[in-house]
């Protein structure tokens, strides 16, 4: 079932329980020209997560599109920063400061060019690994102690291929299918991460 089909089944929005205690941030670039590009894997994944929760990420706040919902009984704010990838941290820090959410309760979904499409990698913390969106968040929240789920989009075809051109290039139909096939796993992994069960999440869903 496609994301559009899931959205069509949404008749009412899920009611959040209390103020958000966690942020789940899908990284990408706003605008039609970037839709379904490799760099927007985080946007695609969080849209699928929102659909499973019965909400749309469409409220403009914190330089982002947002939605409040619950995941595994935890009140969360879903975010799609609209600042462009390199400035993602400015949006994340606004929401984190407003809700007083520490870094360890900020889960980031983003693309990973070191993994094949359809592979995911869950980490409790770590460096940016060359990802400008993660680098921006690290700079704005004051450290790298936040969990992330990195979504494989495939590596450059040759070392000489321009990285910016690669990550802003469109996903092939085959790669989109491989990535979308993992959306249910990403949602399940996110729920485990919110519960603090990183080991189980990594054991079940890494790779």
At 97, which helix (H) or strand (E)?
Answer: helix 88-99
Asked whether the predicted pLDDT for residue 6 surpasses 70, the reply is no
pLDDT digits (tens, 9 = 90+) for 64-80: 999 999 999 999 999 99
The pLDDT, as a whole number, for residue 18 is 76
> Within a 10 A sphere around the Cβ of 34, how many other Cβ atoms?
18
pLDDT band at 14 (very low <50, low <70, confident <90, very high): very low
Across the chain, the runs of DSSP E, i.e. the strands, are 22-26, 59-61, 64-71, 74-81, 106-112, 120-123, 148-152
Q: Rounded mean pLDDT of 135-140?
A: 97
| Average pLDDT of the chain, as a whole number | 92
Residue 39 is among the residues annotated as catalytic for this protein? yes
Asked whether the predicted pLDDT for residue 10 surpasses 50, the reply is no
Look at the pTM and tell me if it is higher than 0.85: yes
pLDDT band at 16 (very low <50, low <70, confident <90, very high): very low
Token couple for 158: 């040759």
The pLDDT, as a whole number, for residue 127 is 95
The pLDDT, as a whole number, for residue 2 is 58
In order of their start, the domains of the chain are 3-205 (3.40.50.1470)
Q: Rounded mean pLDDT of 21-36?
A: 97
Asked whether the predicted pLDDT for residue 115 surpasses 70, the reply is yes
For residue 78, how many C-alpha atoms fall within 13 Å in the half-sphere facing its CB?
Answer: 29
Asked whether the predicted pLDDT for residue 15 surpasses 60, the reply is no
* Residue 156, SS3 per DSSP: coil
Catalytic residue among 23, 29, 37, 39: 39
Token couple for 33: 């020209």
Token couple for 116: 């094949």
For residue 198, how many C-alpha atoms fall within 13 Å in the half-sphere facing its CB?
Answer: 13
The pLDDT, as a whole number, for residue 11 is 37
Asked whether the predicted pLDDT for residue 85 surpasses 70, the reply is yes
Question: What is the percent of the chain where pLDDT is above 90?
Answer: 91
Q: What is the DSSP string of 31-47?
A: SGGGTTBGGGHHHHHHH
First to last CA, the chain: 23
pLDDT digits (tens, 9 = 90+) for 165-195: 999 999 999 999 999 999 999 999 999 999 9
pLDDT digits (tens, 9 = 90+) for 99-111: 999 999 999 999 9
Q: Which residues contact 126 (CB under 8 A, 6 or more apart)?
A: 144, 148
Instruction: Decide: 152 and 180 in contact? Cβ < 8 Å.
Output: no
The pLDDT, as a whole number, for residue 1 is 56
């Amino acid at each position: 079932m496609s994301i559009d089909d899931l959205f069509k089944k949404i008749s009412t929005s899920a009611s959040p329980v209390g103020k958000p205690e966690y942020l789940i941030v899908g990284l990408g670039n706003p605008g039609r020209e970037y839709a379904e590009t490799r760099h927007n894997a985080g946007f695609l994944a969080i849209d699928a997560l929102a659909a499973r929760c019965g909400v749309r990420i469409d409220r403009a706040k914190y330089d982002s599109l947002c939605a409040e919902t619950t995941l595994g009984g935890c009140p969360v704010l879903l975010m799609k920063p609209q600042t462009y990838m390199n400035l993602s941290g400015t949006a994340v820090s606004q929401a984190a400061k407003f809700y007083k959410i520490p870094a360890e309760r900020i889960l980031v979904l983003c693309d990973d060019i070191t993994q094949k499409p359809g592979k995911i990698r869950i980490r409790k913390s770590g460096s940016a690994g060359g990802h400008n969106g993660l680098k921006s968040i690290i700079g704005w929240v004051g450290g790298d102690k936040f969990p992330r789920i990195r979504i494989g989009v495939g590596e450059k075809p040759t070392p000489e291929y321009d990285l910016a051109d690669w990550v802003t290039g469109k996903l092939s139909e085959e790669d989109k299918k491989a990535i979308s096939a993992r959306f249910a796993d990403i949602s399940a992994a996110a729920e485990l991460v919110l519960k603090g069960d990183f080991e189980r999440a990594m054991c079940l869903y890494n790779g």
